[in-house]
A and B are shown apart, each in its own frame.
Chain A
Amino acid sequence: MKKIMNEPEKIVDEMLDGLVFTEDSIVERLPGTNVIARTYRSEGKVAVISGGGSGHEPTHAGFVGKGMLAAAVCGPVFTSPAPDQILEAVKHADQGAGVLLVIKNYTGDVMNFEMAEELAAMEDISVDHIIVNDDVAVEDSTYTAGRRGVAGTILVHKIIGGAAEAGLPLKELKTLADQLIPSIKTLAVALSAATVPEVGKPGFELAEDEIEYGIGIHGEPGYRREKIKSSKEMALELIEQLKKNFNWHVGDRYGVLVNGMGATPLMEQYVFINDIQHLLREEQLDIAFKKVGSYMTSLDMAGISLTMIRLKEEQWLKWLQEPVTTIAW
């Protein structure tokens, strides 16, 4: 393992100090916590809070700021933050209109955020939560913890954040999320595994000439392993899987997010979205929103994910396009 770090157990703490030093006009760190909050105050509006394990930078702290998240709770690497940390974020961010927690669907995250919600209710703060589960690689939801929350989460942050900034009350935000989340689907392909600093070796093994489809953002296993393919062929596999899940029709309006997993250069991401462009043209879809970059990473994993969002409402597109003041959007 080669990493730019000091003691592995201090890596999140030191990262957050560095982040706040660099971006102090946008965010602050709540003293004694791993909570990154925005310096902007939106009085009387619902505060949208997200968080989870670290190692997915710029998620989640990179999306804290005006128009997106009010705060991000940063857990240890790949490990959910504890309820007391989440509660601190809730208490700080609440502006009287309540708090909406955006949780990625992992057993640990759901339990910790729900416990925090129960604690906040005892302090008379109105809190609700939504669970993002956009990873269509998981088919068998009955006998597993269900579909995972991955890169599509940042589109949820953007649209829900925009709606909160527009002044939607907590109840309406929850209803919006119930419509929105099933309209977002993601699938990834990995070229190599991530190495967790405290573990020191890759989370799984992929041979030099192998790729794996459907892998999660913490190295969760995918659905198929095969020899390395061209960008075109990988794009085709991901598009075909998403097509099966969406059942789209000619002329439907969609948005596309191509996300680098951490160690994949932007050059390769542009090559990949170029192939996606051609494939979607053949499908005759109306692509109204596009975005490329490393937003929901998995430490130093190489790979890419493709997220598509069915833009059912004109307003969703407006919230996606609206300018925000964050580190990473």
Chain B
Amino acid sequence: MLTVEKTIRWLNLFGQKVEEKKVYLSELDQAIGDGDHGTNMARGTAAMKTVLEQKAYDTVQDVLKTAGMALLSKIGGASGPLYGSAFIGMAKQAGEGAADVSAILEAGLEGIRKRGNAEAGDKTMVDVWLPAVDAVKNKELSRERIDEWVKATEPMKAKKGRASYLGERSIGHMDPGAVSSGLLFESMIEEGVLDE
């Protein structure tokens, strides 16, 4: 069950990981995008941290919605609407009070797919979200599996976003959005969000 306190800890750890991996994320993006995924994500999660500290939150929905709006307005590019849509989708599902994690994550994935129209195998964040949501449902999410999904984007040929212009040349590089999404799910495990 997701609580206000756990959600905030989860998102803050995610922000911390993004800040730590900022340069790495941008380097990955330089190979197949425009080289700013780390900078953009860090700008968004820093804004998220600020708003989460600004007031006390009564509901998980309120936390996710506020976080989503911060990410949406501060990340920019394609990642802003994608992470923003994920969090706003999760907030809608969360409703009032304690909430079921797997249903919430599923709504997040739905938000991403609706916004970006990406399918499995297109070399995007969906390639991590899709198996992760499934694994959470079956209580099988682990760090090793997250790493596998992230690495699995390496041999894929990009069909969405700026990387798609590279065609064959996008093969052999991990998708930066998949890597940052991996950090989000890693943070869930480390903060015990999935514990009963």
Contacts and interface: CB of A to CB of B under 8 A. Distances in A.
A125 interface: no
Contacts of B166: 221
B82 A106 contact: no
Nearest to A84: B73
B81 A112 contact: yes
A80 B76 contact: yes
Nearest to A111: B81
A198 B43 CA distance: 12
A26 interface: no
A76 interface: yes
B159 interface: yes
Contacts of B192: none
A75 to B, nearest CB: 6
Interface residues of A, number: 33
A194 B111 CA distance: 34
B34 A80 contact: no
A216 interface: yes
B16 interface: no
Judged by DSSP, the binding face of B is helix
Contacts of A83: 72-73, 81, 84
Given A112-B81, A198-B39, A84 B72 contact: yes
A222 B115 CA distance: 27
A81 interface: yes
A203 B76 contact: no
Contacts of A144: 159, 164-165, 167
Interface string B34-62: 11100110000000000000000000000
B76 to A, nearest CB: 4
B72 A111 contact: no
B34 A138 contact: no
A183 B36 CA distance: 33
A143 B72 CA distance: 27
Given A107-B161, A199-B26, A82 B76 contact: yes
Residue with the highest number of chain B CB atoms closer than 10 Å, among A79, A112, A115: A79
B143 interface: no
B36 A82 contact: no
A112 B169 CA distance: 27
A41 to B, nearest CB: 28
A85 B80 CA distance: 13
B77 A108 contact: yes
A203 B34 contact: yes
B39 A106 contact: no
Contacts, number: 95
Given A144-B159, A216-B165, A196 B72 contact: no
B160 interface: yes
A148 B157 CA distance: 19
A216 B164 CA distance: 13
A216 to B, nearest CB: 7
Contacts of A162: none
Contacts of B78: 80, 106-108, 111
A246 interface: no
A53 B162 CA distance: 14
A143 B77 contact: no
Contacts of A216: 165
A80 B80 CA distance: 9
A51 B80 CA distance: 16
Contact of A76 (B30, B76, B84, B116): B76
B74 interface: yes
A107 B162 contact: yes
Contacts of B75: 82
A34 to B, nearest CB: 11
**Interchain residue pairs A-B with the least CB separation, the first 4:** A108-B78, A111-B81, A144-B164, A108-B77
Interface of B: 26, 30, 34-36, 39-40, 72-82, 84-85, 115-116, 157, 159-162, 164-167, 169
20 contacts: A79-B76, A83-B84, A84-B72, A106-B162, A107-B160, A107-B162, A108-B77, A111-B80, A111-B115, A111-B116, A115-B84, A115-B85, A143-B167, A145-B161, A199-B26, A199-B30, A199-B35, A216-B165, A220-B162, A221-B169
